Amino acid sequence: IKAGQMVVTSHDLLLLNWQKLGGQPVKSSGADAAIWKEGDTYCGLLGGTKRYGEDGWWPMMHLWTSTDLTHWEPQGEFLEPTPLTGRYDDGACPSFVPIGDKYALFFFSHRNGGQYFLGDYDQQKRRFKPYDHGRFNHGHVAPGGVHAPSAAVDGQGGVINILNINDGKQNDDWDQIMSLAQHLSLGPDKRLRIEPVTAVATLRGAHRYRGATRLAANQELVLDDIGGDTLELEVEIDPQAARWVQINVLRSPDAQERTSINFYNYDRHLSYWYFTPGEICLDGTL
């Protein structure tokens, strides 16, 4: 903490024993780091800082390079200016990977949760210019919010992504859980597509189907034939004029305990967070 960056390596198949490279940390700004190799050069990306501009907060990420993982040279800011606007805040926990014929930069904001940029990477200048932005979490970071992404290429042009999930109830311990793995790819419009990894199919069991069902306003409809503590839901919602639609899972018989999946349909600004029409938010506070 506040000492800089160091690299450790391991040849232990169980990853129990590690060796530090170099005698002292590299003095650098920022906190969290990502590393990759281009030819004979290692690239180290440092996130966790931010600056304020005309469009609000913008994450700052600085690139460093090395040929031996011990001696590092600063290369300046990694992100090029872009007309994109959004709730970025700081760029902690960066992860930079190719996806399709573009690149993706994943990061975490302490105010707005897990996020990503899609863009073009100039290897000669070692600069990244985003053309699209999105969030993995559209509500509060906590409770129950999506924390930092961890991404790796799948070898076929796509990306496998796993996220930390903050607990639904406050705990003084650092006790996050991990999300199911996601498969990320680019669509024909060069925007991100997110779906479960194919391995999830091995977890599927008894299938239940519920046809078109009209929901009465301000009433709860309990589906007694659908239950369990591990479910995969495929739901199509036609909200019509409803301000929001709520689906309760992990619900106790008396409804005193539940996790709510809320779809906000062009609602008024409920708070600072709900500003985009058509948002899906997870509320695990009850």
Q: Which residues of 181-194 are buried (b: 16+ CB within 10 A; e: fewer)?
A: ebbbebeeeeebee
Place of tokens 């940390």: 25
- Please identify every stretch of the chain with a pLDDT value under 50, giving residue numbers as ranges: 273-276
Structure confidence at residue 137 (pLDDT): 78
Say what the alpha-carbon torsion angle 235, 177, 109, 45 is, to the nearest 10 degrees: -120
pTM of the model: 0.79
Reading the block at residue 184, the tokens are 């990320």
The rounded distance, in Å, linking the Cα atoms of 107 and 279 is: 20
pLDDT 10s digits, 99-123: 999 999 999 988 888 999 999 999 9
The rounded distance, in Å, linking the Cα atoms of 9 and 263 is: 45
Residue 161, strand partner residues: 151, 182
Structure confidence at residue 203 (pLDDT): 87
Neighbouring CB atoms inside 10 A of 174's CB total 7
Please report, for residues 46, 48, 187, the alpha-carbon distance to residue 4 in angstroms, rounded to integers and kept in the order given.
Answer: 10, 13, 39
Per the CB < 8 A criterion, the answer to whether 262 and 244 are in contact is yes
Structure confidence at residue 174 (pLDDT): 75
Structure confidence at residue 274 (pLDDT): 44
Reading the block at residue 129, the tokens are 């210019």
Structure confidence at residue 104 (pLDDT): 97
